[in-house]
Amino acid sequence: MTTEQTTHSQAQGAAPQHVAIIMDGNGRWARQRMQVRSEGHAEGVNSVHNITKVASDCGVKYLTLYAFSTENWNRPTEEVDTLMRLIGTAIRNETPELKANNVHINLIGDIARLPEDVQADLEAGRKATENCTGLNLNLCLSYSARWELIRAVKELARRAANGELDPAAIDEATIDSVLATAGMPDPDLLIRTGGEQRISNFLLWQIAYSELYFTPTLWPDFGKEEFLDILDNFRGRERRFGKTSDQVKSEQS
Ligand code: IPE
Ligand code: IPE
Ligand code: MG
C-alpha cells in the first residue's frame, strides 16, 4: 500500500458522486506575489487541470466548476477580457487530454453572452467530448443560480400558459427538469476555496442538502492532496436528510 492510499483509506461512508467547486482566490494569489490578477487566473487553470484529473481518476461522476459568474461581468473590462481569452485558450489546450480521459464537457450558463470566438472554442470542446462516458465536467460560465431560476420559472410559466403544464402538478422533479443540471444528481459536496464562507449565487436549488466545505487555500494552490483529504472528510460525515442518526444507522445496516 502506498503512503497515499494509507492516508486516504480511513473513510467509511460513500464517496461523493457529484462535487461542485467555487474556485476562488486567484486575485489574492497574484497579489501576494506582486503580480497582476490575470497571473492568478492563468495559474488557476493548472488547478482546474489537476483537480479534473484527480476527480476523474477517483471515480467522481460529476464535477461542477464555477468559473465565471453573472456578477463577474461587473469586473474591470480588462480583467473580463483576459479571463475570456484564458477560457478560450484553456478549453482548446485541454480538450485532447479530456477526451483521452473520457471526460464529457457540459456548458452551464448564459454562454451566448461570451465572445463569439470563445463560444466557438467551448462548443468545439463540448462537441469533441459528447460521446465520452467518464467524468461529467460541468463548466459554469456566465452562470448564476438566480439567472438559472428565472429562466426555469419563465419556461414553466410558458408551458402553463400554453396549457402544456398543470400548475398544481409542479413538484421538485418538474423544477429539476428545467434547470441547467436537469438529469444530474444534486452535488453531494460543495467546496469553496479562498477562505470566504458564502455561496455567491451558485446552484441555490441544487445545494439544498449538499455538504459544505470551506478552505482558506487559494485556488491556484489547491491540489490533489487537499482534494482527496476533503473527500475523506466528506466520507466521515453522516448525512441525515432530516432523519435521526438512529434511523440513518438502521437503514445502512
Ligand atoms: C476566482 O478568483 C476567479 C473568478 C471569480 C473568475 P478571484 O478573481 O475572485 O480571486 P480573489 O477572490 O479576488 O482573490
Ligand atoms: C465566485 O467568486 C464566482 C466564481 C468563483 C466564478 P467571486 O470572487 O466572484 O465571489 P464574491 O464576489 O467574492 O462573493
Ligand atoms: Mg473572488
| CATH code for the domain in which residue 115 is found | 3.40.1180.10
* Test site for ligand 1: of 24, 29, 86, most ligand atoms within 8 A of the Cβ: 24
Tell me if 60 sits within 8 A of 135, measured CB to CB. yes
Report how far ligand 3's centroid is from the alpha carbon of 105 (Å).
24
What is the C-alpha to C-alpha distance for residues 157 and 91, in angstroms, rounded to an integer?
Answer: 35
Tell me if 138 sits within 8 A of 190, measured CB to CB. no
What is the C-alpha to C-alpha distance for residues 44 and 79, in angstroms, rounded to an integer?
Answer: 14
Would residue 244 count as lying in a domain? yes
If one counts every other C-beta atom within 10 angstroms of the C-beta of residue 18, the result is 21
Would residue 225 count as lying in a domain? yes
Residues with CB under 6 A from ligand 1: 23-28, 68, 72, 83, 194, 219
Q: Which residues are marked as active site? A: 24, 72
**Which domain, by its residues, includes 134?**
14-252
Per-residue pLDDT of the chain (253 residues; tens, 9 = 90+): 344 443 444 446 889 999 999 999 999 999 999 999 999 999 999 999 999 999 999 999 999 999 999 999 999 999 999 999 999 999 999 999 999 999 999 999 999 999 999 999 999 999 999 999 999 999 999 999 999 999 999 999 999 999 999 999 999 999 999 999 999 999 999 999 999 999 999 999 999 999 999 999 999 999 999 999 999 999 999 999 999 999 999 998 8
Q: Where are the alpha helices (DSSP H) in 162-198?
A: 172-177
Would residue 6 count as lying in a domain? no
Q: Whose CA is nearest to atom 11 of ligand 2?
A: 200
- Judged by its nearest atom, the ligand closest to the C-alpha of residue 69 is 2
Would residue 206 count as lying in a domain? yes
Name the domain count of the chain: 1
- Judged by its nearest atom, the ligand closest to the C-alpha of residue 86 is 1
* Test site for ligand 1: of 23, 26, 69, most ligand atoms within 8 A of the Cβ: 26
Residue 158 cell numbers, joined = 410558458
